Structure 1
Amino acid sequence: MKSIIQATLLMAFVLSPAMAAERLDDYASQWPIELSGEGPWYRLEVPMALHFAARYGDLRDLRVFNGAGQPLAYALTPGQAPSQDSLRQHQVRWFPVHAGAGEGLAVSNLRVQRSSSGTLIEVLDEANEQMPATRLRGWVLDASAIDDELVQLQLNWVGGEDGFQRFSIEASDDLQHWQAWGSGQLARLSFADERIEQRQVELPGRTARYLRLLWQSPQQAPQLTEVQLSSRRREQALAPLVWSQPLVASVSPDGQYQWQLPLALPIERLRLALEQENSLVPLRVSGRGDNQSAWRSLTSGLLYRLPENGQELRQDELQLPGWSVRQLRVQVDQRGGGLGSAAPSLQVAVRASQLVFLLRGEPPYHLAVGRTGAQSAALPLNTLIPGYQPQRLAQLGQARIELQAEVLQPPGEVVAQDWRRWGLWAVLLAGVGLLALMALSLLRRSQ
């Protein structure tokens, strides 16, 4: 009995790697990869034809193989769009910092009162009461309501002599530990009836709840009348769209237009061809995942192709909510004149994706999709590229595949190469069944 158990476990151990191994021939669609630039990492813009050829909308069945048939490590990442920096101006509160007449460059201790949200209420001097504060040394600025990076400081003041003023800039999040942020310089120069002012100071582009300005030359700070901080928020734009080739509609008996995609995809936008001039098309768009599901309204709108002042105004696109759909239906309000007698063509778009893979082994290299039951083998991008930084993506080598034509229907299932896998499973299950029968027989004998 023990030997049977050992044999069955050994068979399972030996067969499992064979069942887990993947081969290029297991995938219905394959394309040779062309490489350019410096490796070993390469990136490829995923075309819509590849989405159409896949079995799954999330591309879990995508693989990259080398010339020896070995799968390569890869990652899928959203397509790159340039980030956008937006600047915002904030009026902030300021609080004085005094020093005693005999303290030189030292600043007296401070006692700070804050609200429960961290906003400054008051900054009090704890210097000796017999030595009243006689010199305004600087200001504490309350930036606790600003979450973004601080990039510029703008001051306005009264009093003080014309000329240059230099001060140090320190930052803190708790008003106890201060970090140097460099120095700033203001200027107010007058000659005859002309005046030159320098009121802006650049900041290092970091976050802080509080700033402390201490005047160095002169050591007497001016009276501030306005303080404005500028912050920068870096917003990553949405990935660009990748469009399909035109898809021809089928017309239902009730005059509705329908399109069948090879698989369900998160469609972000559609473009309907308006072949005739002076077209005005009110319509409603619906979608569903399969033939058994109910239609869901996606959007409605007005498309047109109209003349104005010798030019043509064209609106032939509609934004969709990005739901995963396989079938699309357009219902046209015929009061606008319709779309003509010919079935219209439609283009759909999804957010672009990029494939990044690590080159290993010898060419030729192939990209493959189209395997039912496949599980994702994608790695996180920071695992595939240790120490990854977003700006590095644009520096990777380029890869491309040559697509002869748009794939409008999924290719047939690859079943000829699966007989070996099913056979291995059958042998393993037979061994497990034999083990169960032997255990049952021994149990009956013991009773």
Structure 2
Amino acid sequence: MSQKLNLGWLGAVAMGVVLSAAAQEKPADFTTQVPLSVTGEGPWYRLELPLNVQLNARQADLSDVRVFNAVGDVQAYALARQSAQSSETRTLTEVKWFPLYNSVDATETAPSVRVQSSANGTLVEVQPSSPLEAGEEELRGWLLDASAIKAPLQQLILDWTSERDGFQRFTLEASDDLQHWRSWGEGQVARLIFSDERVEQRAISLPGQSARYLRLLWITPHSAPTLTSAQLQSASTRSLPLPLVWSQALAGSSVKAGEYTWQLPMGLNVERVQVELSQPNSLAPVSLTGRRDSSLPWQPVVSGLLYRLTQNGQDVVQNELPLSGQIVQQLKLTVDERGGGLGVDVPTLKFAVRATQLVFLARGPGPYTLVVGNTTAKAANLPLSTLIPDYSPEKLATLGRAMVDVGVEARKPSTVTASAPIDTHWKKFGLWAVLLLCVVFLVAMAFSLLRKSTAKP
């Protein structure tokens, strides 16, 4: 009886080994191979997948990405692809604003002020540090009180009155103590009358950081408007979203005046597009539609206003449109020709997707190779909490780094690509032949042992 059990176990083990070998993947099974360099302490390493490598994938969800070591062993890995909407709650809050005055002939950009605040930091009063004579003061900007908002700030929405329509540009700074200010770049608002319709740009994107106070300073104070409303949109997230990565410019096509289409390399979760505005003083209300392939109808994506206008010798440009991150492979831009259109040439388009981070557990000798491009590969990524047993966002930031070697182009072995399906079939046939021989051999051994046992007295 024990001999029969041993034979059964031996057969099961043999079959498991053979089937495992049949399912094992090799770097040659993938069309694109990129060497990696690693720094820091392992055994886990994190890598931001370059967009040009992602675009070589054959599956939109990156099921065909792998990492191999120097002897061809596949490495356990996880993908982190948080979207901007993932696990976040957005809140719109009305905030107080205080005017910042300075004398007309003052040379400093930021007015010096005296501030009175409550115990919790809420602003009560903001006055110039020295008295100003009537008629000498000039409105330089506004101080916004965001001390009641604890979440990262995503967007500033303004409303205003002004004697004339047009564009208003300003610098934006942030502070937590009203003493030390950090730049958040420049912004602009606009209010235009176009074809008897009012077109407004009231929202300004913020960097997604927390701040107790914001300081808005007009670049041309003499024509600055008076604020009537200030709102801040904040977002509470479990983890900050990965940054956007931009593509190279894509050439488009046009078969009808005022309509332009672009074909993306594959279906992608696009979150932003940038349209080339080659001609100065271009203004175009547009609508963007998209679809996953040519057999499907076009679906509305977003509408907006694109422009490139010259003011005070400088270009004021708004050439980006936000998307919600849905998967698209074809995009079509329809332009309202009443604004003059976008010119004779078809504009190029850049698209942005959320960065994808890969974390792998290094096993076996390096160097390591990132591979992608296999239409039949099944998803093999693990959850981060499984790959790293005591995972936390804080620990993720301390992992070693892996980088695609700079200056090394992705290898695309055409001979391997062409012959891989044939080689794979021969390997399968060979492995099944070995399996059958093993089974025949085991059956023969079993009969031989049984005959010997029955022959004994």
Q: TM-score, normalised by structure 1?
A: 0.56
* Cα deviation digits, residues 223-281 of structure 1 (max 9, x gap): xxxxxxxxx97654433211111111122255532211221011111011111111112
* Equivalent of 1:58 in 56, 61, 78: 61
Structure 1 residue identity aligned to 2:356: S
- Report whether the alignment pairs 1:342 with 2:348: no
User: In structure 2, how many angstroms separate the alpha carbons of the residues matched to 1:430 and 1:30?
Assistant: 31
* Equivalent of 1:357 in 353, 357, 360: 360
* Residue in 1 that maps onto 2:72: 69
Range that drifts further, 387-396 or 304-313: 304-313
Structure 2 residue identity aligned to 1:342: D
* Residue in 1 that maps onto 2:394: 391
User: In structure 2, how many angstroms separate the alpha carbons of the residues matched to 1:312 and 1:27?
Assistant: 46
Alignment of 1:1-80 (within 5 A): 13=16, 15-78=18-81
Give the match's secondary structure for 1:54: coil
User: In structure 2, how many angstroms separate the alpha carbons of the residues matched to 1:86 and 1:248?
Assistant: 36
Please say if residues 79 and 354 of structure 1, whose CA atoms lie closer than 8 Å, have aligned partners that are also in contact: no
- Report whether the alignment pairs 1:332 with 2:335: yes
* Residue in 2 that maps onto 1:126: none
* Residue in 2 that maps onto 1:437: none
Shift of 1:286: 1.3
Shift of 1:414: 2.5
* Residue in 1 that maps onto 2:135: none
Structure 2 residue identity aligned to 1:262: P
Please say if residues 85 and 235 of structure 1, whose CA atoms lie closer than 8 Å, have aligned partners that are also in contact: no
* Equivalent of 2:271 in 243, 268, 273: 268
Give the match's secondary structure for 2:397: helix
* Residue in 1 that maps onto 2:309: 306
Please say if residues 258 and 337 of structure 2, whose CA atoms lie closer than 8 Å, have aligned partners that are also in contact: no
Shift of 1:346: 0.7
Please say if residues 275 and 347 of structure 2, whose CA atoms lie closer than 8 Å, have aligned partners that are also in contact: yes
Alignment of 1:173-212 (within 5 A): none
Give the match's secondary structure for 1:286: strand
Shift of 1:86: 11
Shift of 1:309: 4.0
User: In structure 2, how many angstroms separate the alpha carbons of the residues matched to 1:233 and 1:288?
Assistant: 31
User: In structure 1, how many angstroms separate the alpha carbons of the residues matched to 2:27 and 2:44?
Assistant: 21
User: In structure 1, how many angstroms separate the alpha carbons of the residues matched to 2:335 and 2:363?
Assistant: 53
Shift of 1:311: 3.5
Q: CA RMSD in A?
A: 4.1
Give the match's secondary structure for 1:343: coil
User: In structure 2, how many angstroms separate the alpha carbons of the residues matched to 1:20 and 1:67?
Assistant: 19
Alignment of 1:188-337 (within 5 A): 236-253=239-256, 256-337=259-340
Structure 1 residue identity aligned to 2:27: L
* Cα deviation digits, residues 349-398 of structure 1 (max 9, x gap): 11112111111222221101000111111111111112111111111111
Range that drifts further, 302-311 or 318-327: 302-311
* Cα deviation digits, residues 194-235 of structure 1 (max 9, x gap): xxxxxxxxxxxxxxxxxxxxxxxxxxxxxxxxxxxxxx9765
Aligned residues: 290
* Cα deviation digits, residues 88-114 of structure 1 (max 9, x gap): 9xxxxxxxxxxxxxxxxxxxxxxxxxx
Shift of 1:420: 3.3
Cα gap change, 1:87 to 1:293, in 2 (>3 Å): closer
Cα gap change, 1:414 to 1:11, in 2 (>3 Å): farther
* Equivalent of 1:380 in 380, 383, 387: 383
User: In structure 2, how many angstroms separate the alpha carbons of the residues matched to 1:15 and 1:377?
Assistant: 20
Q: TM-score, normalised by structure 2?
A: 0.55
Cα gap change, 1:236 to 1:424, in 2 (>3 Å): closer
* Cα deviation digits, residues 55-98 of structure 1 (max 9, x gap): 112111000011001111111113699x999999xxxxxxxxxx
Cα gap change, 1:369 to 1:86, in 2 (>3 Å): closer
Give the match's secondary structure for 1:252: strand
Shift of 1:312: 2.6
Structure 1 residue identity aligned to 2:395: R
Please say if residues 273 and 321 of structure 2, whose CA atoms lie closer than 8 Å, have aligned partners that are also in contact: yes
Please say if residues 22 and 431 of structure 2, whose CA atoms lie closer than 8 Å, have aligned partners that are also in contact: no
User: In structure 2, how many angstroms separate the alpha carbons of the residues matched to 1:314 and 1:402?
Assistant: 35
Please say if residues 88 and 238 of structure 2, whose CA atoms lie closer than 8 Å, have aligned partners that are also in contact: yes
Please say if residues 305 and 315 of structure 1, whose CA atoms lie closer than 8 Å, have aligned partners that are also in contact: yes
Please say if residues 291 and 298 of structure 2, whose CA atoms lie closer than 8 Å, have aligned partners that are also in contact: yes
User: In structure 2, how many angstroms separate the alpha carbons of the residues matched to 1:263 and 1:313?
Assistant: 33
* Cα deviation digits, residues 139-190 of structure 1 (max 9, x gap): xxxxxxxxxxxxx999xxxxxxxxxxxxxxxxxxxxxxxxxxxxxxxxxxxx
Structure 1 residue identity aligned to 2:290: G
User: In structure 2, how many angstroms separate the alpha carbons of the residues matched to 1:368 and 1:299?
Assistant: 35
Structure 2 residue identity aligned to 1:250: S
User: In structure 2, how many angstroms separate the alpha carbons of the residues matched to 1:406 and 1:22?
Assistant: 22
Shift of 1:419: 1.9
Higher Rg of the two aligned structures:
1
Give the match's secondary structure for 1:267: strand
Cα gap change, 1:406 to 1:429, in 2 (>3 Å): closer
Give the match's secondary structure for 1:55: coil
Shift of 1:412: 10
* Cα deviation digits, residues 29-51 of structure 1 (max 9, x gap): 11100112222211111221122
Give the match's secondary structure for 2:46: strand
Unaligned runs of 5+ in 1: 1-5, 89-151, 155-231, 434-447
User: In structure 2, how many angstroms separate the alpha carbons of the residues matched to 1:233 and 1:372?
Assistant: 38
Unaligned runs of 5+ in 2: 1-7, 93-118, 122-234, 437-457
Please say if residues 64 and 71 of structure 1, whose CA atoms lie closer than 8 Å, have aligned partners that are also in contact: yes
What is the percentage of aligned positions where both structures have the same residue?
A: 44
Structure 2 residue identity aligned to 1:275: S
Range that drifts further, 72-81 or 298-307: 72-81
User: In structure 2, how many angstroms separate the alpha carbons of the residues matched to 1:326 and 1:85?
Assistant: 29
* Residue in 2 that maps onto 1:367: 370
Structure 1 residue identity aligned to 2:262: W
